């Protein structure tokens, strides 16, 4: 057993034991009351999940195992002193709950580079069977499902594995899957946008740097951006659509490929991960309609108000939990202000940030008028030359794997049972609250 898996085992079993004991001793205690409004408004605020990898505070933003993003940027191992943290390190932190050493991070980089060599050929062939015009998320998800033919978990389950061992093949599948996602993402990118001219992976590179390389970007700047992007999108506690769906499907003991593909179908919705693409198409129309990529604030305000009048949302703004500017937006803006302050798209993002919150506040109904992660991520990628925005949600998905798949390993460690909440009819709710129509 390698030292990462060994450390996971040492950390995991006492926690699993503690959870079991707590439920035995305190299982009947009431932890929350639930209102009708909460159920009908998408279960917002209902405590329903145990997720250790990260926690989202409405006012402060995300913390990964207790560490804020600025703390991650200073504490996690990097390639160079002024570089961005390596996503391998964040994965270790989310999986084990401890900050990794340089040795741990190097080990994971090498392990993933090794595992990425063994992608079944049919995963590429099913992508090739789809029209190039199929959205990259369709191609991505199809390949993820196709790779499940190699699932260690499914095989071990069919062989009659003992329940207490579920976490082990789950860990192996998760490591395989994460290692292979950048190869699949880059393959789709090159297929759709670069005439199918593929670039071989370079096993000496880190996971995110390799993805930039395979996509055709050799500069250290793009690799640095990719590392930041992969860290920022990795996790957002357990209740968001991609995390919750991956977890839910996993409770049926579906293998990691099935579970993650389900989560990715949720990420592909325009209110979730596809918002990064929606933002770019909103900006593209804005620039076309106004006739300049440096519109005035009044022009931006008029355009935003027109969007609302048409009964549409302003993509990149608002959040189900956050009640302030998303720190993932602020970190990307800091990065842009440091390295590419004069890029026209970044100036546009800054001006929109000054105008749109006021427009949304004026509606009187938007609970959070501030920008989220998607308000800037595409403009940043585009300013660095990755301009083909239909690929953006795939990049988000590669990153999101780090968090939701670490949690999936923990679900098996904790022995999480089948998730099965209760539903009722409209009449039941009417009776319950004493409503007569
Ligand atoms: N533009 C216009 N209207 C908005 C809005 C926005 N950006 N954000 C919220 N609203 C509206 C809602 O549509 C809702 O209207 P109705 O009552 O008419 O249905 C009302 O304001 C109240 O919504 P809310 O409680 O503030 O927001 P929700 O928790 O229901 O939804 C969303 C949160 C993120 C889905 C929402 O803010 C939105 O649609 N934003 C734009 C899409 C987006 O950027 N999504 C990415 C979110 C981050 C993420 O998951 N990334 O992956």
Indicate which residue's Cα is closest to atom 36 of ligand 1: 318
Instruction: Give per-residue pLDDT as tens, 242-273.
Output: 999 999 999 999 999 999 999 999 999 999 99
What's the domain range around 150? 1-31+49-420
**CA gap 243, 11 in Å, rounded:** 22
Q: What is the Cα–Cα distance from 314 to 278, expressed in whole angstroms?
A: 9
- pTM score of the predicted model: 0.97
Name the CA radius of gyration of the chain, rounded. 22
What is the pLDDT at residue 437? 84
In a domain, 41, yes or no: no
pLDDT in tens, 191-235: 999 999 999 999 999 999 999 999 999 999 999 999 999 999 999
Q: Provide the annotated active-site residues.
A: 272, 319, 374
The CA 289 to ligand 1 mean position distance, Å, reads 24
What is the reported pLDDT for 82? 85
Residue 36 lies in a domain: no
pLDDT at 388: 98
In a domain, 199, yes or no: yes
Please, which residues have CB within 8 angstroms of residue 189's CB and are 6 or more apart in sequence?
A: 136, 215, 216, 388, 391, 394
Q: pLDDT tens digit string along 383-427? A: 999 999 999 999 999 999 999 999 999 999 999 999 999 999 999
pLDDT for position 229 = 98
Q: What is the CATH number for 74?
A: 1.10.580.10
Query: Per the domain annotation, does 430 fall within a domain?
Result: no
pLDDT in tens, 87-103: 999 999 999 999 999 99
- Cα distances from 246 to residues 197, 238, 262, in angstroms, run 32, 10, 6
User: Count of H helices and E strands in the chain?
Assistant: 20, 2
Nearest CA owner, ligand 1 atom 31 = 320
Protein residue closest via CA to atom 14 of ligand 1:
366
In a domain, residue 305? The reply is yes
Do the domain assignments include residue 92? yes
| CA–centroid distance, residue 315 to ligand 1 (Å) | 8
Q: In total, how many domains does the chain have?
A: 1
pLDDT-above-90 percentage for the chain: 99
pLDDT at 81 over 90: no
Average pLDDT over residues 67-92: 95
Q: Which atom of ligand 1 is least distant from the CA of 396?
A: 52
Give ligand 1 pocket residues (Cβ under 6 A): 240, 271-273, 275, 308, 313-320, 360, 365-368, 372-374
Q: How far is the CA of 317 from the centre of ligand 1 (A)?
A: 7
- Predicted confidence (pLDDT) at residue 327 exceeds the cutoff of 90: yes
d(CA 259, CA 273): 17
Residue 89 lies in a domain: yes
- Rounded distance from Cα 272 to ligand 1 centre (Å): 10
Q: How far apart are the first and last CA of the chain?
A: 63
Strands (E), 310-435: none
Mean pLDDT of 285-294: 95
**pLDDT recorded at residue 336:** 98
For ligand 1, atom 8: residue with the closest CA: 318
Q: Mean pLDDT over residues 151-165, rounded?
A: 94
**Which pLDDT band, with edges at 50, 70 and 90, does 1 fall under?**
confident
CA of 308, closest atom in ligand 1: 2
User: Does some domain include residue 42?
Assistant: no
Q: How many whole angstroms separate alpha carbon 114 and alpha carbon 364?
A: 53
Mean pLDDT rounded to a whole number for the chain: 97
């Amino acid at each position: 057993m390698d030292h990462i898996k060994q450390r996971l085992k040492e950390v995991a079993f006492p926690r699993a034991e503690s959870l079991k004991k707590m439920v035995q001793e305190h299982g009947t205690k009431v932890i929350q009351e639930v209102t009708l409004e909460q159920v009908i408004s998408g279960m917002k605020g209902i405590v329903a999940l145990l997720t250790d990898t990260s926690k989202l505070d409405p006012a402060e933003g995300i913390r990964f195992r207790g560490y804020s993003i600025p703390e991650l940027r200073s504490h996690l191992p990097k390639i160079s002193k002024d570089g961005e943290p390596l996503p391998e390190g964040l994965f270790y932190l989310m999986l084990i709950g401890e900050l990794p050493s340089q040795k741990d991070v190097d080990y994971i980089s090498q392990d993933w580079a090794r595992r990425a060599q063994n992608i079944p050929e049919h995963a590429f062939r099913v992508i090739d069977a789809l029209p190039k015009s199929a959205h990259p998320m369709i191609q991505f998800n199809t390949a993820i499902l196709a790779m499940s033919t190699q699932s260690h978990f499914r095989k071990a389950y069919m062989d009659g594995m003992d329940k207490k061992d579920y976490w082990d093949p789950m860990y192996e599948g998760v490591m395989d899957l994460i290692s292979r996602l950048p190869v699949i993402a880059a393959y789709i990118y090159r297929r759709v946008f670069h005439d199918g001219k593929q670039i071989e992976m370079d096993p000496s590179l880190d996971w995110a740097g390799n993805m930039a390389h395979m996509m055709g970007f050799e500069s250290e700047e793009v690799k640095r951006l990719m590392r930041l992007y992969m860290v920022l999108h990795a996790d957002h506690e357990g209740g968001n659509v991609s995390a919750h769906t991956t977890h839910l499907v996993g409770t049926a003991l579906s293998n990691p490929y099935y579970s993650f593909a389900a989560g990715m179908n949720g990420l592909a919705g325009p209110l979730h991960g596809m918002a990064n693409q929606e933002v770019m198409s909103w900006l593209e129309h804005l620039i076309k309609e106004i006739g300049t990529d440096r519109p005035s604030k009044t022009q931006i305000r008029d355009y935003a108000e027109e969007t609302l009048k048409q009964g549409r949302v302003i993509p990149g703004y608002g959040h189900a939990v956050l009640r302030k500017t998303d720190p993932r937006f602020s970190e990307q803006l800091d990065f842009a202000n440091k390295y590419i302050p004069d890029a026209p798209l970044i100036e546009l993002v800054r001006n929109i940030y000054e105008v749109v919150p006021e427009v949304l506040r004026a509606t009187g109904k938007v609970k959070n008028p501030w920008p989220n992660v998607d308000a800037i991520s595409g403009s940043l990628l585009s300013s660095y030359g990755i301009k083909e925005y239909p690929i953006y949600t795939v990049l988000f998905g590669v990153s999101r794997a780090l968090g939701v798949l670490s949690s999936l390993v923990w679900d098996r460690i904790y022995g999480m049972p089948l998730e099965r909440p209760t539903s009722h009819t409209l009449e039941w709710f009417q009776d319950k609250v004493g409503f007569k129509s």
